Amino acid sequence: MRKNVEFFPELAGIRALAALVVVFYHLMQEVPSLSGSANLTLRWMSVAVTHDYITVDVFFVLSGFLITALLLRDQRKPYFFHNFYWRRVLRIVPVFFLALGLFWWVVPNSGWYIVLCLLLVANFSIRLGAPMASPIWTLCIEEQFYFFWPQIVRRCKPRTIAWVAFWLTVFSTVLRPLVQVFHHGVINRLYTPYRLDGLGLGAMAACFYMAPDELGEKMTRIVKALGSRVLLTLAIVAFLVLPSFPALVYQETISISLTSYLTFRFIYSVMRGRKFRFLTVTPLLFLASISYGIYMYHSFVMHYFDVRYGVPDVQRPWAFAGRGLLILAITIAASTVSLYLIEKPAQHLRPLVLKRPANMHEAVVTQIHPEETGSDQINTGSRRSSVIS
């Protein structure tokens, strides 16, 4: 078992790109269908919007990988649960509460939805009588998963953990088309059982990374088969071709599977030493450091512009693009302020709440915003041999 978890800048870079795509997709959601437009640029944008599925599941796979790697690193340490949940609280809760406050302020009659968010079941809000949605639904899925996942990691060997992750992946992958068959082609993609394959694939990658010699022959073969170039090529072709069939009943469920797999395959390549230098440039790494804020705040900025200036006119491409860039700039500014005034101060509370008798000088480092703490870091070229928290 590895003692530490490397910081992979490529994973931070892909996270930043995914956050930007979320903003782009939500901007494009505001305009009517562009597929029939005579303007070639607008038709291209219409095709791009059909790739909205390349966002959320990227986050799920990255989260499954990073959190499972951390749990495996700390598997035998004292205060396992105490430290894990306090890290989650300090990382998630400050921005989460601010986003809830903004939602309550700008959305009338949202009290019940706020309660569901606080209970971390907002992804079931339609079923529970609150037909509203916000980016918080993805956070709810992750936190529901992390209520039970540490229990498994704490009690099981890496081999068993990898098999549980594998069967969770199979479960969600099979469940989506089955439900579509019996519910006339309709699924609610916000429900947790439909999105466990991303978290499962990420967890499998973490097991392979942290304990490659402990997975057993069958699981090792499965992971290596998923990492094959043939399967990667087929998945890329299917990913690019799929938007050409908007009437395909199973397009959404296939796209979720493809995105989850391609993100897993990307992590697999990075683990095995493949470098993607374009993802490690400073601007992208900075955007990665504020990606949580971008994801949580951008919809409020868009709402303000819609209320103040009305729905954007896509038939005026330059004005539409300018509005989008302004929204992005304001979102980045707000997220930067949030990073330095809310998120980083919260991280600095760790020494007050974490119990670390085995390592009193553990670095405060994350894949989201790495922080230098002097001798706790060992630079190794483009990577840091460090702790991810």
CA 315 to chain CA centroid, nearest Å:
33
Q: Where are the beta strands (DSSP E) in the chain?
A: 378-380, 383-385
pLDDT at 53: 56
- Residues 113/130, Cβ–Cβ less than 8 Å: yes
- What distance in Å separates the CA atoms of residue 287 and residue 301, rounded to the nearest whole number? 17
pLDDT at 41: 60
The pLDDT tens digits along the chain (389 residues) read 888 898 999 999 999 999 998 888 888 776 655 555 555 565 556 555 655 556 789 999 999 999 999 999 999 998 999 999 999 999 999 999 999 999 999 888 899 999 999 999 999 999 999 988 888 999 999 999 999 999 999 999 999 999 999 999 999 999 998 988 887 666 788 899 999 999 999 999 999 999 999 999 999 999 999 999 999 999 999 888 877 776 666 778 888 899 999 999 999 999 999 999 999 999 999 999 999 999 999 999 998 888 888 877 767 778 888 999 999 999 999 999 999 999 999 999 999 999 875 444 444 344 443 333 333 332 333 443 333 33
- What distance in Å separates the CA atoms of residue 45 and residue 48, rounded to the nearest whole number? 5
Match 């599941």 to its residue by tokens: 57
pLDDT at 364: 39
- Residues 26/298, Cβ–Cβ less than 8 Å: yes
pLDDT at 208: 96
Quick check: helix, strand or coil at residue 7?
strand
- What distance in Å separates the CA atoms of residue 12 and residue 198, rounded to the nearest whole number? 17
pLDDT at 366: 44
pLDDT at 2: 87
Residue 383 φ/ψ, nearest 5 degrees: -115, 165
- What distance in Å separates the CA atoms of residue 143 and residue 92, rounded to the nearest whole number? 10
CA 348 to chain CA centroid, nearest Å:
23
| CA-to-CA dists, residue 252 to 124, 221, 226, 248, 318, angstroms | 19, 29, 21, 9, 31
- What distance in Å separates the CA atoms of residue 336 and residue 371, rounded to the nearest whole number? 15
Q: What is the pTM of this model?
A: 0.88
pLDDT at 357: 53
pLDDT at 43: 57
pLDDT at 189: 83
pLDDT at 309: 84
